[in-house]
């Protein structure tokens, strides 16, 4: 089975079309490969390749106003497929859709993303509208 690594053109177009004002949160769930899959055959673990992605993309992410607002460590799938696991779970905040689009179009980011593509076996990237924290569900 092939995992999800990059958005489709259709979903990215829908993402861009919904350019509401205000920040966006992006929930990232990432499963890493044991061994990175670089097209040029270089050797690295998935964790090493993803760390390289983080180092190289950080200046672009930060310059556009991005920040990590939550990070956690996967422990147990309480509801959902028991075989599903995630190595990384975090929420990135962007000032808006335009900042996210500018990031992925930036030449430095485009160079860094090759590490992400080599590192990731499967992922989910879920756009969220920040809401208010409080008591109770719903």
Which CATH number belongs to the domain containing residue 112 in this structure? 3.30.70.100
Classify residue 14: in a domain, yes or no.
no
Tell me what pLDDT residue 136 has.
Answer: 85
**pLDDT value, residue 3:** 82
Q: Residue length, the chain?
A: 138
Please tell me the predicted confidence (pLDDT) of residue 2: 63
**67 lies in some domain:** yes
Q: Which domain holds residue 115?
A: 22-128
Residue 71 located in a structural domain: yes
The model carries a pTM of 0.91
Put residue 22 in one of left, alpha, beta given phi > 0 → left and psi -120 to 50 → alpha.
left
The C-alpha atoms of residue 7 and residue 26 are separated, in whole angstroms, by 13
Q: Which residues of the chain have pLDDT under 50?
A: 1
* Total domains in the fold of the chain: 1
């Amino acid at each position: 089975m092939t995992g999800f690594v990059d958005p489709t053109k259709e979903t990215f177009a829908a993402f861009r079309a919904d350019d509401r004002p205000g920040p966006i949160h992006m929930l990232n769930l990432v499963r890493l490969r044991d061994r990175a899959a670089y097209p040029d055959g270089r050797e690295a673990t998935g964790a090493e390749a993803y760390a390289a992605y983080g180092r190289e993309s950080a200046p672009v992410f930060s310059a556009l106003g991005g920040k990590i607002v939550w990070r956690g460590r996967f422990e147990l799938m309480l509801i959902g497929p028991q075989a599903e696991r995630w190595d990384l779970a975090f929420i990135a905040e962007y000032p808006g859709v335009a900042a996210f689009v500018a990031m992925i179009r930036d030449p430095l980011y485009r160079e860094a993303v090759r590490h992400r593509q080599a590192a990731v076996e499967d992922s989910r990237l879920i756009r969220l509208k920040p809401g208010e924290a409080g008591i109770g569900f719903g």
